[in-house]
Each structure stands twice: as C-alpha cells, then as structure tokens.
C-alpha cells in the first residue's frame, strides 16, 4: 500500500506592492532612520509611535475628494463591527494623538515618526501599497518661522545624506478663507472649460475642483495652463506670511522655486505647502518628500482650532534617490569575532556567550560543519578575528586567534585569557 503524499503547496509570496527588506539592505534602513532620529532629535523633536490603524473617520478628514480616501484606503469592519482603516499617511494620527494626550504640552508640540503607510495604489518602482515615511509634525504654533524650521529640517537632512540633485518647490494656499475663496474661483473657471478637460477630471469640478489641478492627465494639464494662481489671490495676511517664509528660506541659503499649482494630494493644507523633487528619479515617483501647514485639521478631528505643520518623506524613495546619486552607502555592520570549533565540543557555545557577555560582538557556526565551511561563514560574518578550537587547542586548553583583516597573523593563547586578549586587540 502506498502512503498518500500531501499535495504540493505553492510557496507564498509577499502581497503585490509590498517588499521584504532583508539584510544587508535593512542595515541601510536602520542607518537612515538613525540618522533622521539624530537629526530631528537635536532640534527638539520626540518620537511618537501611534497605532497602525484608526477609526476610519480620522483619515477621512484628510480629504473626502482625494484618491487617498476614495480609492486607496485599506478599510474593513473589525470583529466588533467598527469601521477601521490602516494608516494611509501619518499626519491625521498625530493630530488625533495631540487632541487626545498633548493639548496641555508646551507649543509647538514637536514630534517625529518612522512608520508604514498603506495605500491601494498601482504598484511600480518607487510606489508601493505599503511604504514607510520618515515624518515630522509641529502642532500649536502659527509663527511662519516654524514653517521655515520644518522645511529646513528636511532640506538639511537630504543634504546630510549627500544628495545634491533635489529641488524644493513651495506654494501657499493662504488662510482657510483664502483657500475657500480660491476653490470657488477655480470651480467657476473650470466650469467654463469643462469640455476641454479629460472627462474623468471634468466630473470632479463641482465637488473637488482642487483635484483637477493635480491631475496627471495630459489633456487636463494642457487645458489648465492658465488656471488662476493662488499666489495672485492671497489675502494680505496670507501674502505677508508667505513672504516671511520665503525671506527665511533665503536667509538660510535654501534655494526654492515658487510653484503656484502645488496644491498637493490632500485637502487639509493651508498657507505653506512644499515638495522636494529629485532630478535623479523618474518623474512619476520623483517627489521624495512633501508637506505643509494644516491649520484646520485639528479642528476637523474634534479638537480646538489649532495650527500645525509637518512633512513626510518615503524611505524607499529616499534610498532610490541615494542609489541614483551614489551616496549614503552603508557597510554591513556584522560581528567582530567568529568562533570556529572543529571538534564539535562545548567551546563554540561557551566561548561565544562569554565574548558577548564581555561586550564583544561574536558569532559562530552550528552543526559541526567542516573547517572550510566554518571559515567561509567567518569570512561572510565580517569578523576581524577568528577564534579556532581544534583538537590541539582542546588538548592544551588554548585557543588560536587568527587575524582575517590585518597582518598580525596567528597566535595561540590560553583559554582563560582569550576573552581579555581579544577585547584588548579589538580596542
């Protein structure tokens, strides 16, 4: 009687639009996040870890007319029949957290995050269904100098990574009132030209005219070349504020281009909006970071009328840009010491732990592999020193230290002193 064989299972793969980040690539992610944490930490920003999902209402406030809310959210009913969405962007969660916990804190409340965001988009290089943002938010202060600080933080971060081909675009949406008036003007203007627009965009004129302005459809782009510019219609208050931001950036030596059609893909923006665009990436994914002021968002989430400003920058896009410019190359960290035990005794087990407990980074091979195979593993581990325990060493209660990187060759020392000798040689 033959034994039944189980059906072959097709191996699972990560979902479309997601990526596994494995070593050594993940070393670079760690280094990037650490560099960002250090950079913003030195300017007084503290880390916030917010939930990866929220009640859907938190995210709907970023714009009922946006693709993000209408088409791209990962939303579902949980087992308690609550309508939940995975975080599509970081700002709404931070504003919700400020309302819930931090209203009494000194203003501005300055925080940062490194967090995944989920958007059901058409995946391509630099555009994923799960991407990761380095972001920063400052809540509670209207001062235009804070806009300058926030833009400068991102600019200087890119410069610190070594990026050179990144351009800053800025715009102002004006006050909440300016923005509202401008939307009405644009709606009127577009209505008169609806026949010239791509039909999909023409449908948005009544409810979401701003979304027509960031259309990527060539017919629409050509038809709206002369659309009214918000920068020509700012109230004196809006214009003065924008001027102060421009003066501040100039004083700090930060070059920028005013782009009056930079309305951004989310509805919460007022006053300053900005994007950093990489000339080294394909146009479709060339925005590596963006942000702006959102003076109405906190109120729309049920909090007191409170201003805020921040940015988000995709880790994947930053690293693509670094690759394209050949900067921010990190070397794999690895370990300092590798223990090779050719007699399959207790030496590898005990010595490796002793080394680690004394602060030396160490690794070992398992399953009593051959000397050749263990030496190969040692080489791959990045170790500078290999500690060899073979039959001679076991007999004389000693360990041989071999230098893989330098030219000090090989020495045999007593088992009792080996940890001290290694520590001394590494320091």
Single out the residue of 107, 110, 131, 246 in contact with ligand HAM (rule: CB under 6 A).
131
Q: What is the closest distance, in whole angstroms, from the C-beta atom of residue 136 to ligand HAM in the complex?
A: 7
User: Taking CB under 6 A as the rule, does residue 127 contact ligand HAM?
Assistant: yes
> Quick one: which segment of 235-243, 291-299, 352-360, 384-392 binds ligand HAM (CB under 6 A)?
291-299
Six-digit token string for 232: 């020509």
**Of 260 and 334, which has the nearer Cβ to ligand HAM?**
260
User: Taking CB under 6 A as the rule, does residue 289 contact ligand HAM?
Assistant: yes
User: Taking CB under 6 A as the rule, does residue 312 contact ligand HAM?
Assistant: yes
The packing angle between helices 25-41 and 144-161, to 10°, is 150
Alpha helices by DSSP H, listed for 133-251, are 144-161, 176-192, 199-202, 209-213, 218-223, 236-251
Q: What is the closest distance, in whole angstroms, from the C-beta atom of residue 37 to ligand HAM in the complex?
A: 17
H or E segment to which residue 324 belongs? helix 315-325
Single out the residue of 75, 121, 143, 185 in contact with ligand HAM (rule: CB under 6 A).
121
User: Taking CB under 6 A as the rule, does residue 108 contact ligand HAM?
Assistant: no
Q: Are 387 and 340 in contact (CB under 8 A)?
A: yes
Single out the residue of 40, 113, 137, 168 in contact with ligand HAM (rule: CB under 6 A).
137
Distance from chain centroid for Cα 342: 45
Single out the residue of 128, 157, 182, 274 in contact with ligand HAM (rule: CB under 6 A).
128
**Of 107 and 317, which has the nearer Cβ to ligand HAM?**
317
In whole angstroms, how far apart are CA 339 and each of 360, 367, 395?
A: 12, 13, 17
Q: What is the closest distance, in whole angstroms, from the C-beta atom of residue 186 to ligand HAM in the complex?
A: 20
> Quick one: which segment of 85-93, 172-180, 323-331, 403-411 binds ligand HAM (CB under 6 A)?
85-93
Q: Are strands 46-47 and 75-77 parallel, antiparallel or unpaired?
A: unpaired
**Of 110 and 119, which has the nearer Cβ to ligand HAM?**
119
User: Taking CB under 6 A as the rule, does residue 133 contact ligand HAM?
Assistant: yes
Q: What is the closest distance, in whole angstroms, from the C-beta atom of residue 127 to ligand HAM in the complex?
A: 4
Burial class (CB in 10 A: 0-12, 13-18, 19+), 17: middle
CA-to-CA distance for 361 and 56, rounded, in angstroms? 45
**Of 317 and 364, which has the nearer Cβ to ligand HAM?**
317
CA-to-CA distance for 292 and 135, rounded, in angstroms? 12
User: Taking CB under 6 A as the rule, does residue 287 contact ligand HAM?
Assistant: yes
**Of 137 and 393, which has the nearer Cβ to ligand HAM?**
137
Q: What is the closest distance, in whole angstroms, from the C-beta atom of residue 31 to ligand HAM in the complex?
A: 18
User: Taking CB under 6 A as the rule, does residue 288 contact ligand HAM?
Assistant: yes
Alpha helices by DSSP H, listed for 332-370, are 347-357
Single out the residue of 107, 119, 211, 271 in contact with ligand HAM (rule: CB under 6 A).
119
Q: What is the closest distance, in whole angstroms, from the C-beta atom of residue 301 to ligand HAM in the complex?
A: 14
> Quick one: which segment of 86-94, 228-236, 401-409, 413-421 binds ligand HAM (CB under 6 A)?
86-94
**Of 121 and 350, which has the nearer Cβ to ligand HAM?**
121
Distance from chain centroid for Cα 80: 32
Six-digit token string for 207: 């409810």
User: Taking CB under 6 A as the rule, does residue 292 contact ligand HAM?
Assistant: yes
Distance from chain centroid for Cα 65: 25
Applying CB under 6 A, what is the total number of residues that bind ligand HAM? 27
Burial class (CB in 10 A: 0-12, 13-18, 19+), 415: middle
User: Taking CB under 6 A as the rule, does residue 402 contact ligand HAM?
Assistant: no
Q: What is the closest distance, in whole angstroms, from the C-beta atom of residue 211 to ligand HAM in the complex?
A: 14
In whole angstroms, how far apart are CA 185 and each of 129, 211, 227?
A: 35, 14, 10
**Of 66 and 374, which has the nearer Cβ to ligand HAM?**
66
Six-digit token string for 379: 């080489």
What is the dihedral sign for C-alpha 251, 252, 253, 257?
A: negative
Single out the residue of 98, 157, 274, 311 in contact with ligand HAM (rule: CB under 6 A).
311
- Give the footprint of ligand HAM on residues 244-273 (CB under 6 A): 265
CA-to-CA distance for 114 and 132, rounded, in angstroms? 7
User: Taking CB under 6 A as the rule, does residue 93 contact ligand HAM?
Assistant: no
Instruction: Tell me the DSSP string of 218-268.
Output: HHHHHHTTTPPPGGGS--HHHHHHHHHHHHHHHHTT---EE-TT---SSTT
Interacting residues with ligand HAM (CB under 6 A): 89-91, 119, 121, 126-128, 131, 133, 135, 137, 265, 287-292, 294, 310-314, 316-317
């Amino acid at each position: 009687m033959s034994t039944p064989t189980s059906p072959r299972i097709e191996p699972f793969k990560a979902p479309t639009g997601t990526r596994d980040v494995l070593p050594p690539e993940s070393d670079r992610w760690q280094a990037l996040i650490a560099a960002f944490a250090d950079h913003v930490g030195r300017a007084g920003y503290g880390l916030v870890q917010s939930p990866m999902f929220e009640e859907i209402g938190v995210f709907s406030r970023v714009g009922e007319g946006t693709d993000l809310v209408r088409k791209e959210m990962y939303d579902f009913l949980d087992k308690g029949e609550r309508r939940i969405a995975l975080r599509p962007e970081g700002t709404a969660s931070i504003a919700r957290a400020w309302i819930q916990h931090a209203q009494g804190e000194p203003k501005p409340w300055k925080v940062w995050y490194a967090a995944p965001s989920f958007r059901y988009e058409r995946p391509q290089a630099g555009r994923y269904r799960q991407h990761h943002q380095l972001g920063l938010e400052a809540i509670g202060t209207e001062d235009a100098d804070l806009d300058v600080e926030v833009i400068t933080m991102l600019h200087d971060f890119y410069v610190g990574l070594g990026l050179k081909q990144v351009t800053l675009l800025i715009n102002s949406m004006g006050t909440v009132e300016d923005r509202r008036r401008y939307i009405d003007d644009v709606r009127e203007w577009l209505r008169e030209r609806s026949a010239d627009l791509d039909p999909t965009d023409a449908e948005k004129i009544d409810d979401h005219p701003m979304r027509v302005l960031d259309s990527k459809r060539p017919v629409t782009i050509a038809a709206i070349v002369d659309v009214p510019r918000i920068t020509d219609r700012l109230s004196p208050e809006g214009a003065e504020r924008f001027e102060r931001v421009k003066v501040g950036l100039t004083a700090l030596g930060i070059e920028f281009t005013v782009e009056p059609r930079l309305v951004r893909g989310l509805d919460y923006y007022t006053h300053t909006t900005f994007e950093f665009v990489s000339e080294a990436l394909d146009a479709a994914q060339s925005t590596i970071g963006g942000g702006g002021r959102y003076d109405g968002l906190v109120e729309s989430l049920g909090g007191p009328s409170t201003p805020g400003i921040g940015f988000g920058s995709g880790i994947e896009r930053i690293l693509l840009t670094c690759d394209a410019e050949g900067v921010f190359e990190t070397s794999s960290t690895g370990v300092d010491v590798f223990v090779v035990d050719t007699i399959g005794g207790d030496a590898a087990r005990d010595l490796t732990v002793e080394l680690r407990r004394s602060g030396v980074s160490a690794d070992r091979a398992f399953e009593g592999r051959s000397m050749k195979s263990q030496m190969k593993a040692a080489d791959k581990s990045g170790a500078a020193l290999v500690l060899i325990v073979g039959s001679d060493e076991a007999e004389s209660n000693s360990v041989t230290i071999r230098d893989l990187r330098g030219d000090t060759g090989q020495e045999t020392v007593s088992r009792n002193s080996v940890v001290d000798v290694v520590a001394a040689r590494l320091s």
